[in-house]
Amino acid sequence: MADFVSEKLAVLGGRPAFAKPRHVGMPNIPNREILHARLDEILASRRLANDGPYVRRFEAQLADMTGAPHAVAMCSAMVAMQVLFRALELAGEVITPSFTFIATAHAAAWERLQPVFIDVDPDTHMISPDRIGATLTARTQAIVGVHLWGSTCDVDALQAIADKARIPLILDAAHAFGCTSRGRLIGALKAVSVLSFHATKVVQSLEGGAVLTGDGDLAAKLRLMRNFGFQGYERVGCLGTNAKLNEVSATFGIGCIEEFESFVAVNRRNLEQYQSSLMNIPGLRFYRRDPTEKSNCQYVILDIDPVSCPLMRDELVDPLHAENIFARKYFSPGCHRQSPYQDVVLSECPTHREPTGGAIDGAAHGNGGFG
């Protein structure tokens, strides 16, 4: 048995299962022929930025695909979140889960807001609405919910809390393009949502992000702020920054939207293959998605049961990496254990850990983290 194992496992000196690394986030590439033709058109026009026709087209498609009255494209999701915080004139604390990509917390901190971390539901991996009440104070300016893994958090419960407190609900929807919450597209919700089009997303624009909102005044303000606050050619109407999306990035995004259904079909097929191959291994549990909701199947997530699995999550990752399978530990360590947040107390959870022994993301299916 020992000889068999040593022949099979690279961590014990065997040959890796894959000659080249198999990463979690491999970019989806739209139709090259159409993409090249559009890039030629952009180069011929010499209009590369500044709210060009492809950016406007991309925004219109985003609104249509997500059910949003308004979609405002920007250069990244983190910058979009920062501009949104500034547009809402927030000052104080924002409640957010600690189990999220660090950019969620950084966007708040960069705008001089204080992230107040709370724990997540161990089954959904998303913010626990029943933990929010104890964290609400006079300084609370917003609740930031985070959608994960192609599923959505409990938006209705979060919205009810936000409405009662008279503060906005903001949704980090980096993982949720094309997904629904109780049958509603994410852009049709009352809350403002922020999308990511980082290169590893189902819809990618190399780098990019967008804000979805039903508030026309807010959308107009965001458009001013992303372009230095300019109103027309010369007059500056407000404090702004350079958060614009360029034409080349928008072209990639448009191409990915056009092939969105085929990309999701590949994701779903890969997920089903993982489930079929791994479902009988003791101690492994696949993340449970609600079958009544639309999902982009963006991630293959496994929970490791520390009781019934012979190896813990961190012990599994090293042998996989040796085989050139670069599975990821998401999100480890949690935001509250990273600089500069180590000294921030996690609400009601002094012994917080990743859910159910930790989540591990399967490799080679095309999509990855918030950018």
The pLDDT score that the predictor gives to residue 8 is: 80
What's the farthest any 2 CA atoms get from each other in the chain?
76
Q: Using one digit for the tens of pLDDT, what is the confidence trace for 213-236?
A: 999 999 999 999 999 999 988 899
- Backbone φ and ψ for 103, nearest 5 degrees, come out as -60, -30
Per DSSP, the residues of 143-183 read EEEE--TT----HHHHHHHHHHHT--EEEE-TT-TT-EETT
Nearest of 205, 203, 146, 147 to residue 180 by alpha carbon: 147
Query: How far apart are the C-alpha atoms of 324 and 63, rounded to whole Å?
Result: 39
The pLDDT score that the predictor gives to residue 7 is: 63
The pLDDT score that the predictor gives to residue 25 is: 76
Q: What is the mean pLDDT of residues 122-144?
A: 95
Q: Using one digit for the tens of pLDDT, what is the confidence trace for 182-208?
A: 999 999 999 999 999 999 999 999 999
Token digits of residue 205:
């624009």
Cβ proximity of 101 and 370 under 8 Å: yes
**Is the pLDDT assigned to residue 4 strictly greater than 50?**
no
Q: Using one digit for the tens of pLDDT, what is the confidence trace for 342-356?
A: 865 554 443 344 444
pLDDT band at 31 (very low <50, low <70, confident <90, very high): very high
**Is the pLDDT assigned to residue 1 strictly greater than 70?**
no
Summary mean pLDDT of the chain: 91
**Is the pLDDT assigned to residue 128 strictly greater than 70?**
yes
Per-domain boundaries in the chain: 32-258
3-state secondary structure of 358: coil
Per DSSP, the residues of 298-309 read ---EEEE-TTTS
Query: How far apart are the C-alpha atoms of 3 and 5, rounded to whole Å?
Result: 5
Q: What is the mean pLDDT of residues 143-164?
A: 98
% of the chain exceeding 70 in pLDDT: 90
% of the chain exceeding 90 in pLDDT: 81
pLDDT band at 310 (very low <50, low <70, confident <90, very high): confident
3-state secondary structure of 196: strand
The pLDDT score that the predictor gives to residue 26 is: 86
Token digits of residue 222:
């965001």
3-state secondary structure of 355: helix
Q: At a CB cut-off of 8 Å and minimum separation 6, what does 367 contact?
A: 24, 25, 28, 200, 201, 202, 267, 296, 298, 299
Token digits of residue 367:
């999509």
> What CATH code would you report for 32-258?
3.40.640.10
Q: Using one digit for the tens of pLDDT, what is the confidence trace for 259-292?
A: 999 999 999 999 999 999 998 899 999 999 999 9
Going by the DSSP 8-state scheme, the letter that residue 120 receives in this structure is B
3-state secondary structure of 115: strand
Query: How far apart are the C-alpha atoms of 205 and 29, rounded to whole Å?
Result: 10
Cβ proximity of 240 and 229 under 8 Å: yes
Q: Using one digit for the tens of pLDDT, what is the confidence trace for 105-114?
A: 999 999 999 9
Q: At a CB cut-off of 8 Å and minimum separation 6, what does 34 contact?
A: 255, 258
The larger pLDDT score, comparing residue 134 to residue 1, is at: 134
Q: Which residue has the tokens 């079929």?
A: 276
Nearest of 58, 144, 137 to residue 103 by alpha carbon: 144
Q: At a CB cut-off of 8 Å and minimum separation 6, what does 235 contact?
A: none
pLDDT band at 3 (very low <50, low <70, confident <90, very high): very low
